[in-house]
Amino acid sequence: MDNIIKVGMADLRSSRHPCRLTTLGLGSCVGIALYDPGRKVVGLAHIMLPSSQQARNNSNIAKFADTATYKLVEDMVSLGAVKSHIVAKLAGGAQMFSFNDTSEMLRIGARNVTASKEILKQLNIPILAEDTGGNYGRTIEIDSASGKLLIKTIGHGTEVI
Amino acid sequence: MVKGVDDLNSLHLDVLREIGNIGAGNAVTALAKLLNRKVDMDVPMVKIFKFNELSETFGGAELPVVGILLKVSGDLTGYIMYILERDAASTLVNMLMGRPLYEMSEFSEMDISALKEIGNILTGSYLSALSGLTNLKIVSSFPDLAIDMAGAILSVPAIEFGKVGDTVLYIETQFVEGEKKVVGDFFLVPDYDTYDILMKALGVIG
């Protein structure tokens, strides 16, 4: 069942069981992992920016927390997921550089996390677990069998949420 | 108006390549002085990639890399970032410290400071070339450094490029010292009108 589907930066994918969806090296970006445990449909988005509303160029819907989440839910429903059964896990949103500076660019990770949570709340999707913030990158992988999210780092251990 | 990388034409890219050439030329001279030995350079390449292809071009999103980031202010605002593989960074530090080049170990505090200084010198040389060509006043901040997965470090410039387009532009440079090649990449991370200001200052667009 080693059906591993890679999700790139500003990209989203969904699939039926059995499969694992993975995205490598999340930094300030956020991985939004969705799962319908009953139908075993999974979805994963690797978003870069909080909102399509503030963007000058918003043609790539997978780039933004809002449009990517809506699209991911839609795709999962078309694969047989029941919208009201979908649950979420979040990872990423790190601040990779410390800089003594409160500029918008460096806080983008936190803003991506906040925006992702807001969208999930609007869609009534509960967040079961998250591993966000910090100053390090993460590779994540969601398993369609269990909905478990594996998180790997360099120097900050491995965990399953 | 040049809003993002997507709007750049081949003339603009030639200009950027030339800036890369002069900038990297300056950087090599500075590096050779610092290392007190001869350093050669290959012609820099301007590279443009879509976000989803970006980390693959670096040998994988999980490859450990060193990223050195400086804030740019003055007439041109944004950030400049220099990224190189962790192993290449190790080689550079070993050259600087007079250790065997192939030795690999955890970076000490001293090594980190040395890497920041190398980043400072390389980006400084690049920016002074840019400043000299454009007559723009460009000031850079103290460098900050992070060591992590390529994807995570690249997300920092990628997000800024993402605000205006769907592609990332960077300039790849290769320094050659003896048999060792050190490949490093410069990202001039734009604020929204950086490339426009740049092209206007160079007289490429009116």
- What would the pLDDT profile of A29-78 be if each residue is shown by its tens digit? 999 999 999 999 999 999 999 988 876 666 789 999 999 999 999 999 99
pLDDT at residue B186 in the model: 79
**Chain A interface residues (partner B, CB cutoff 8 A):** 8-11, 24-29, 48-49, 55-57, 59-60, 63, 94, 96-99, 101, 103, 105, 108, 135-139, 154
Please check the confidence at residue A140 and state whether its pLDDT lies above 70.
Answer: yes
- What would the pLDDT profile of B110-119 be if each residue is shown by its tens digit? 999 988 988 8
Per-residue pLDDT band at A79 (split at 50, 70, 90): very high
Which of A6, A9, A102, A150 is the best residue to mutate to test the B interface, defined by the most B CB atoms within 10 Å of its own CB?
A: A9
| Identified catalytic residue from A12, A26, A29, A73 | A29
Reply yes or no on whether A29 is catalytic. yes
Domain presence at residue B197: yes
Q: Name which residue leads in pLDDT, B198 or A121.
A: A121
Domains defined along chain A, listed by start: 4-160 (3.30.1330.200)
What is the residue-averaged pLDDT of chain A?
A: 91
- Residue B195's nearest CA partner among B172, B155, B165, B154 is B165
CA distances from A83 to A13, A43, A69, A88, B10 (A): 16, 12, 12, 12, 47
CA distance B100 to B57: 29
Cα A67–A72–A73 angle (5° rounding)? 105
CA distance B184 to B166: 22
* Number of separate domains in chain B: 1
Domain presence at residue B206: no
- B45 touching chain A per CB within 8 A: no
Between chains, do A25 and B61 touch, taking CB under 8 Å as contact? yes
Domain presence at residue B124: yes
Q: Can you give the CATH number for the domain in which B131 is found?
A: 3.40.1550.10
Domain presence at residue B154: yes
CA distances from B194 to B57, B143, B159, B201 (A): 25, 20, 15, 11
- What would the pLDDT profile of B125-178 be if each residue is shown by its tens digit? 888 888 888 888 988 888 889 999 998 998 888 888 888 777 777 777 777 776
pLDDT at residue B194 in the model: 73
β-pairing, A87-92 vs A127-132, is parallel
- What would the pLDDT profile of B70-97 be if each residue is shown by its tens digit? 888 888 888 888 888 888 888 888 888 8
Q: Which residue of B has its CA nearest to A54?
A: B163
Domain presence at residue B78: yes
The whole domain housing B166 covers: 5-201
Domain presence at residue B44: yes
